[in-house]
Protein backbone atom coordinates (compact mmCIF):
# COMPACT_ATOMS: atom_id res chain seq x y z
CA UNK A 1 0.00 0.00 0.00
CA UNK A 2 1.42 3.38 -1.01
CA UNK A 3 1.27 6.33 1.30
CA UNK A 4 0.08 9.56 -0.30
CA UNK A 5 1.74 12.91 0.30
CA UNK A 6 -1.42 14.34 1.85
CA UNK A 7 -2.42 13.86 5.45
CA UNK A 8 -3.65 10.34 6.13
CA UNK A 9 -6.10 8.98 8.64
CA UNK A 10 -5.17 6.89 11.64
CA UNK A 11 -6.69 3.78 10.06
CA UNK A 12 -4.83 3.96 6.74
CA UNK A 13 -1.30 5.33 7.12
CA UNK A 14 0.11 2.56 9.31
CA UNK A 15 -0.22 -0.24 6.75
CA UNK A 16 3.13 -2.07 6.80
CA UNK A 17 5.14 -2.81 3.64
CA UNK A 18 4.24 -6.00 1.84
CA UNK A 19 5.57 -9.17 3.46
CA UNK A 20 5.90 -7.77 6.99
CA UNK A 21 3.63 -7.65 10.00
CA UNK A 22 3.47 -5.55 13.13
CA UNK A 23 3.79 -7.37 16.43
CA UNK A 24 2.75 -6.08 19.83
CA UNK A 25 0.29 -3.30 18.88
CA UNK A 26 0.40 -0.15 20.96
CA UNK A 27 -2.69 0.08 23.18
CA UNK A 28 -3.92 2.13 26.06
CA UNK A 29 -2.96 5.50 27.42
CA UNK A 30 0.69 6.36 26.95
CA UNK A 31 2.65 6.43 30.19
CA UNK A 32 4.90 9.38 31.02
CA UNK A 33 8.51 8.98 29.92
CA UNK A 34 10.87 7.34 32.43
CA UNK A 35 13.56 9.39 34.22
CA UNK A 36 16.15 8.46 31.59
CA UNK A 37 14.30 10.60 29.07
CA UNK A 38 14.29 13.57 31.43
CA UNK A 39 18.06 13.28 31.77
CA UNK A 40 18.40 12.94 28.00
CA UNK A 41 16.28 16.02 27.35
CA UNK A 42 18.25 17.97 29.94
CA UNK A 43 21.47 17.06 28.14
CA UNK A 44 20.00 18.17 24.81
CA UNK A 45 18.84 21.46 26.37
CA UNK A 46 22.31 22.21 27.72
CA UNK A 47 23.87 21.39 24.35
CA UNK A 48 21.47 23.66 22.49
CA UNK A 49 22.11 26.54 24.93
CA UNK A 50 25.85 26.12 24.44
CA UNK A 51 25.53 26.27 20.68
CA UNK A 52 23.25 29.29 20.93
CA UNK A 53 25.94 31.05 22.96
CA UNK A 54 28.49 30.04 20.33
CA UNK A 55 26.32 31.42 17.56
CA UNK A 56 25.73 34.67 19.49
CA UNK A 57 29.49 35.14 19.73
CA UNK A 58 29.60 35.46 15.93
CA UNK A 59 27.48 38.64 16.01
CA UNK A 60 29.04 41.96 14.97
CA UNK A 61 27.94 45.44 16.15
CA UNK A 62 28.88 48.26 13.79
CA UNK A 63 30.26 51.44 15.49
CA UNK A 64 27.62 54.00 16.39
CA UNK A 65 24.72 51.63 15.73
CA UNK A 66 22.52 49.81 18.21
CA UNK A 67 21.54 47.16 15.65
CA UNK A 68 23.13 43.70 15.79
CA UNK A 69 24.19 42.19 12.47
CA UNK A 70 25.18 38.56 11.97
CA UNK A 71 28.25 37.92 9.87
CA UNK A 72 27.25 35.67 6.95
CA UNK A 73 30.55 33.80 6.94
CA UNK A 74 30.34 33.10 10.68
CA UNK A 75 26.69 32.43 11.40
CA UNK A 76 26.25 29.48 9.00
CA UNK A 77 28.61 26.95 10.69
CA UNK A 78 27.16 27.64 14.13
CA UNK A 79 23.56 27.42 12.94
CA UNK A 80 24.32 24.26 11.03
CA UNK A 81 25.76 22.71 14.19
CA UNK A 82 22.66 23.72 16.09
CA UNK A 83 20.39 22.21 13.45
CA UNK A 84 22.38 18.95 13.32
CA UNK A 85 22.29 18.58 17.10
CA UNK A 86 18.56 19.30 17.14
CA UNK A 87 17.83 16.65 14.48
CA UNK A 88 20.13 14.12 16.12
CA UNK A 89 18.53 14.74 19.53
CA UNK A 90 15.00 14.30 18.20
CA UNK A 91 15.88 11.15 16.25
CA UNK A 92 17.80 9.62 19.17
CA UNK A 93 14.98 10.38 21.59
CA UNK A 94 12.35 8.83 19.32
CA UNK A 95 14.43 5.71 18.66
CA UNK A 96 15.31 5.26 22.35
CA UNK A 97 11.65 5.59 23.29
CA UNK A 98 10.71 3.06 20.60
CA UNK A 99 13.28 0.50 21.79
CA UNK A 100 12.21 0.82 25.43
CA UNK A 101 8.54 0.61 24.47
CA UNK A 102 9.20 -2.63 22.59
CA UNK A 103 11.15 -4.12 25.49
CA UNK A 104 8.37 -3.16 27.92
CA UNK A 105 5.73 -4.65 25.60
CA UNK A 106 3.92 -1.34 25.07
CA UNK A 107 5.09 -0.53 21.54
CA UNK A 108 4.45 -2.16 18.17
CA UNK A 109 7.27 -3.65 16.12
CA UNK A 110 7.40 -4.24 12.37
CA UNK A 111 8.51 -7.80 11.66
CA UNK A 112 9.33 -9.46 8.34
CA UNK A 113 8.98 -13.11 9.34
CA UNK A 114 10.77 -14.57 6.32
CA UNK A 115 13.69 -12.14 6.47
CA UNK A 116 14.03 -12.43 10.26
CA UNK A 117 14.20 -16.23 9.93
CA UNK A 118 17.01 -15.94 7.37
CA UNK A 119 18.92 -13.50 9.58
CA UNK A 120 18.58 -15.73 12.65
CA UNK A 121 19.74 -18.75 10.62
CA UNK A 122 22.78 -16.78 9.43
CA UNK A 123 23.69 -15.83 13.01
CA UNK A 124 23.35 -19.46 14.13
CA UNK A 125 25.46 -20.75 11.22
CA UNK A 126 28.11 -18.13 11.93
CA UNK A 127 28.44 -19.39 15.52
CA UNK A 128 28.70 -22.98 14.28
CA UNK A 129 31.31 -22.11 11.65
CA UNK A 130 33.36 -20.32 14.29
CA UNK A 131 33.22 -23.46 16.43
CA UNK A 132 34.39 -25.58 13.47
CA UNK A 133 37.33 -23.19 12.96
CA UNK A 134 38.20 -23.43 16.66
CA UNK A 135 38.14 -27.25 16.61
CA UNK A 136 40.10 -27.46 13.35
CA UNK A 137 42.73 -25.15 14.82
CA UNK A 138 42.98 -27.38 17.89
CA UNK A 139 43.42 -30.39 15.58
CA UNK A 140 46.17 -28.56 13.67
CA UNK A 141 48.00 -27.71 16.91
CA UNK A 142 47.81 -31.30 18.13
CA UNK A 143 48.97 -32.64 14.75
CA UNK A 144 51.91 -30.23 14.82
CA UNK A 145 52.95 -31.56 18.23
CA UNK A 146 52.63 -35.16 17.01
CA UNK A 147 54.77 -34.37 13.97
CA UNK A 148 57.46 -32.87 16.17
CA UNK A 149 57.47 -35.98 18.36
CA UNK A 150 57.58 -38.28 15.32
CA UNK A 151 60.51 -36.37 13.90
CA UNK A 152 62.44 -36.57 17.16
CA UNK A 153 61.58 -40.27 17.48
CA UNK A 154 62.79 -40.91 13.93
CA UNK A 155 66.09 -39.17 14.68
CA UNK A 156 66.49 -41.27 17.85
CA UNK A 157 65.86 -44.51 15.93
CA UNK A 158 68.31 -43.47 13.21
CA UNK A 159 71.01 -42.76 15.79
CA UNK A 160 70.47 -46.13 17.45
CA UNK A 161 70.55 -47.83 14.05
CA UNK A 162 74.08 -46.56 13.52
CA UNK A 163 75.26 -47.50 17.02
CA UNK A 164 73.55 -50.91 17.27
CA UNK A 165 74.84 -53.17 14.46
CA UNK A 166 72.80 -56.17 15.71
CA UNK A 167 69.54 -54.10 15.45
CA UNK A 168 70.56 -51.90 12.56
CA UNK A 169 67.69 -52.91 10.26
CA UNK A 170 64.99 -52.85 12.95
CA UNK A 171 65.93 -49.37 14.15
CA UNK A 172 66.27 -48.23 10.53
CA UNK A 173 62.73 -49.40 9.61
CA UNK A 174 61.24 -47.52 12.52
CA UNK A 175 63.27 -44.39 11.72
CA UNK A 176 62.01 -44.40 8.12
CA UNK A 177 58.42 -44.97 9.26
CA UNK A 178 58.45 -42.08 11.75
CA UNK A 179 60.05 -39.74 9.22
CA UNK A 180 57.45 -40.70 6.59
CA UNK A 181 54.62 -40.10 9.08
CA UNK A 182 56.11 -36.71 9.95
CA UNK A 183 56.39 -35.79 6.28
CA UNK A 184 52.79 -36.84 5.57
CA UNK A 185 51.74 -34.91 8.67
CA UNK A 186 53.24 -31.74 7.18
CA UNK A 187 51.20 -32.30 4.03
CA UNK A 188 48.02 -32.89 6.03
CA UNK A 189 48.76 -29.84 8.19
CA UNK A 190 49.02 -27.72 5.05
CA UNK A 191 45.57 -28.91 3.93
CA UNK A 192 44.03 -28.26 7.37
CA UNK A 193 45.53 -24.77 7.58
CA UNK A 194 44.19 -23.97 4.12
CA UNK A 195 40.75 -25.18 5.23
CA UNK A 196 40.91 -23.00 8.35
CA UNK A 197 42.05 -19.94 6.39
CA UNK A 198 39.28 -20.28 3.79
CA UNK A 199 36.46 -20.81 6.29
CA UNK A 200 37.82 -18.00 8.48
CA UNK A 201 37.74 -15.66 5.47
CA UNK A 202 34.14 -16.67 4.81
CA UNK A 203 33.11 -15.97 8.41
CA UNK A 204 35.15 -12.87 9.28
CA UNK A 205 34.93 -11.08 5.94
CA UNK A 206 32.05 -12.29 3.76
CA UNK A 207 29.49 -13.07 6.47
CA UNK A 208 30.60 -10.14 8.65
CA UNK A 209 30.07 -7.77 5.72
CA UNK A 210 26.48 -8.98 5.49
CA UNK A 211 26.06 -8.63 9.27
CA UNK A 212 26.98 -4.94 8.96
CA UNK A 213 24.17 -4.49 6.45
CA UNK A 214 21.81 -6.31 8.79
CA UNK A 215 22.67 -3.93 11.64
CA UNK A 216 21.95 -0.98 9.36
CA UNK A 217 18.64 -2.57 8.39
CA UNK A 218 17.68 -3.08 12.04
CA UNK A 219 18.50 0.56 12.80
CA UNK A 220 16.33 1.67 9.88
CA UNK A 221 13.52 -0.55 11.18
CA UNK A 222 13.62 1.09 14.63
CA UNK A 223 13.59 4.57 13.05
CA UNK A 224 10.66 3.62 10.82
CA UNK A 225 8.64 2.27 13.75
CA UNK A 226 9.53 5.28 15.88
CA UNK A 227 8.22 7.79 13.33
CA UNK A 228 5.23 5.57 12.53
CA UNK A 229 4.26 5.50 16.19
CA UNK A 230 4.74 9.25 16.41
CA UNK A 231 2.40 9.77 13.44
CA UNK A 232 -0.15 7.40 14.97
CA UNK A 233 -0.27 9.42 18.17
CA UNK A 234 -0.68 12.72 16.30
CA UNK A 235 -3.51 11.36 14.15
CA UNK A 236 -5.36 10.12 17.22
CA UNK A 237 -5.32 13.64 18.69
CA UNK A 238 -7.28 16.74 17.72
CA UNK A 239 -6.93 18.36 14.29
CA UNK A 240 -6.68 22.13 14.37
CA UNK A 241 -4.45 24.94 13.21
CA UNK A 242 -1.77 24.05 15.74
CA UNK A 243 -1.66 20.29 15.16
CA UNK A 244 -2.03 20.09 11.37
CA UNK A 245 1.49 21.48 10.62
CA UNK A 246 2.92 18.93 13.07
CA UNK A 247 0.96 16.12 11.42
CA UNK A 248 2.15 17.14 7.96
CA UNK A 249 5.76 17.32 9.11
CA UNK A 250 5.42 13.96 10.86
CA UNK A 251 3.91 12.50 7.69
CA UNK A 252 6.92 13.64 5.68
CA UNK A 253 9.39 12.17 8.17
CA UNK A 254 7.42 8.94 8.29
CA UNK A 255 7.53 8.62 4.48
CA UNK A 256 11.30 9.29 4.40
CA UNK A 257 12.05 6.61 7.00
CA UNK A 258 9.60 4.18 5.42
CA UNK A 259 11.40 4.43 2.08
CA UNK A 260 14.77 4.02 3.83
CA UNK A 261 13.50 0.96 5.70
CA UNK A 262 12.15 -0.70 2.55
CA UNK A 263 15.38 0.06 0.68
CA UNK A 264 17.51 -1.46 3.44
CA UNK A 265 15.18 -4.48 3.64
CA UNK A 266 15.62 -5.14 -0.09
CA UNK A 267 19.40 -4.67 0.16
CA UNK A 268 19.65 -7.22 2.96
CA UNK A 269 17.51 -9.71 1.04
CA UNK A 270 19.80 -9.45 -1.99
CA UNK A 271 22.91 -9.71 0.21
CA UNK A 272 21.62 -12.87 1.89
CA UNK A 273 20.86 -14.46 -1.47
CA UNK A 274 24.35 -13.86 -2.86
CA UNK A 275 25.94 -14.85 0.45
CA UNK A 276 24.15 -18.21 0.40
CA UNK A 277 25.40 -18.95 -3.13
CA UNK A 278 28.98 -17.99 -2.25
CA UNK A 279 28.89 -19.90 1.04
CA UNK A 280 27.76 -23.14 -0.63
CA UNK A 281 30.49 -22.84 -3.27
CA UNK A 282 33.28 -22.18 -0.77
CA UNK A 283 32.25 -24.81 1.77
CA UNK A 284 31.67 -27.43 -0.95
CA UNK A 285 35.31 -27.19 -2.06
CA UNK A 286 36.75 -26.92 1.44
CA UNK A 287 34.83 -29.89 2.81
CA UNK A 288 36.00 -32.07 -0.09
CA UNK A 289 39.58 -30.97 0.57
CA UNK A 290 39.32 -31.69 4.29
CA UNK A 291 37.77 -35.13 3.74
CA UNK A 292 40.19 -36.27 1.05
CA UNK A 293 43.26 -35.11 2.97
CA UNK A 294 42.21 -36.75 6.23
CA UNK A 295 41.23 -40.00 4.48
CA UNK A 296 44.49 -40.20 2.51
CA UNK A 297 46.61 -39.47 5.59
CA UNK A 298 45.10 -42.15 7.79
CA UNK A 299 45.08 -44.63 4.90
CA UNK A 300 48.81 -44.04 4.54
CA UNK A 301 48.34 -43.04 0.91
CA UNK A 302 51.11 -40.48 0.44
CA UNK A 303 50.49 -40.14 -3.30
CA UNK A 304 46.78 -39.41 -2.85
CA UNK A 305 47.56 -36.92 -0.08
CA UNK A 306 49.97 -34.98 -2.30
CA UNK A 307 47.51 -35.15 -5.19
CA UNK A 308 44.83 -33.57 -3.01
CA UNK A 309 47.04 -30.55 -2.34
CA UNK A 310 47.82 -30.20 -6.05
CA UNK A 311 44.11 -30.37 -6.87
CA UNK A 312 43.42 -27.33 -4.67
CA UNK A 313 46.67 -25.53 -5.63
CA UNK A 314 48.02 -25.57 -2.07
CA UNK A 315 51.70 -24.80 -1.64
CA UNK A 316 53.41 -26.01 1.51
CA UNK A 317 55.52 -23.54 3.48
CA UNK A 318 59.15 -24.47 3.15
CA UNK A 319 61.42 -24.24 6.23
CA UNK A 320 62.70 -20.66 6.44
CA UNK A 321 60.53 -19.55 3.52
CA UNK A 322 57.53 -17.28 3.34
CA UNK A 323 54.05 -18.73 3.07
CA UNK A 324 52.20 -18.05 -0.21
CA UNK A 325 49.64 -15.28 -0.22
CA UNK A 326 45.92 -15.98 -0.16
CA UNK A 327 45.63 -14.92 -3.82
CA UNK A 328 48.44 -17.26 -4.82
CA UNK A 329 46.74 -20.14 -3.04
CA UNK A 330 43.55 -19.48 -5.01
Cα–Cα distance measured from residue 68 to residue 70, given in angstroms and rounded to the nearest whole number: 7
Question: Averaged in consecutive runs of 10 residues, what is the pLDDT profile of the chain (330 residues)?
Answer: 38 50 51 49 53 48 47 63 80 84 84 94 96 97 95 94 91 93 93 96 95 95 91 86 87 93 95 95 95 92 89 70 42
In this prediction, residue 22 carries a pLDDT of 60
Strand-pairing partners, residue 23, are 109
Compute the C-alpha angle 75/78/81, nearest 5°.
145
Strand-pairing partners, residue 59, are 70
Question: DSSP states of 236-301 as a string?
Answer: HS--STTHHHHHHHHHHHHHHHHHHHHHHHHHHHHHHHHHHHHHHHHHHHHHHHHHHHHHHHHTT-
Contacts 24+ apart (CB under 8 A), 23-31: 23/108, 23/109, 23/111, 24/102, 24/105, 24/106, 24/107, 24/108, 24/109, 25/108, 26/101, 26/106, 26/107, 26/108, 26/229, 26/232, 28/106, 30/233, 31/106
Domains and CATH numbers, the chain: 113-316 (1.20.1270.60)
Count of C-beta atoms within a 10 Å radius of residue 84: 11
In this prediction, residue 44 carries a pLDDT of 53
In this prediction, residue 160 carries a pLDDT of 94
In this prediction, residue 59 carries a pLDDT of 44
Cα–Cα distance measured from residue 235 to residue 179, given in angstroms and rounded to the nearest whole number: 82
In this prediction, residue 42 carries a pLDDT of 56
In this prediction, residue 159 carries a pLDDT of 93
Cα–Cα distance measured from residue 188 to residue 308, given in angstroms and rounded to the nearest whole number: 10
In this prediction, residue 221 carries a pLDDT of 93
In this prediction, residue 100 carries a pLDDT of 87
In this prediction, residue 251 carries a pLDDT of 92
Question: Cβ distance 122 to 275 under 8 Å?
Answer: yes
Count of C-beta atoms within a 10 Å radius of residue 14: 21
Q: How many residues does the chain have?
A: 330
Amino acid sequence: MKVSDSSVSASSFVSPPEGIIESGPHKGKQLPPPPVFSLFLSFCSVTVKFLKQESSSTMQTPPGSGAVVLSDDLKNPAMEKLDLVRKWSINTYKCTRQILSEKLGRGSKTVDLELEAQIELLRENKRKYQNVIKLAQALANQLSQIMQTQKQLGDAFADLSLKSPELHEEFGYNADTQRLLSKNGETLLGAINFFISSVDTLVDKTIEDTMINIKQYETARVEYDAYRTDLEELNLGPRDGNTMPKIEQSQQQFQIHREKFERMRNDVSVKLKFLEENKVKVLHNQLILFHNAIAAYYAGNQQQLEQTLKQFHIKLKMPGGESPSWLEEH
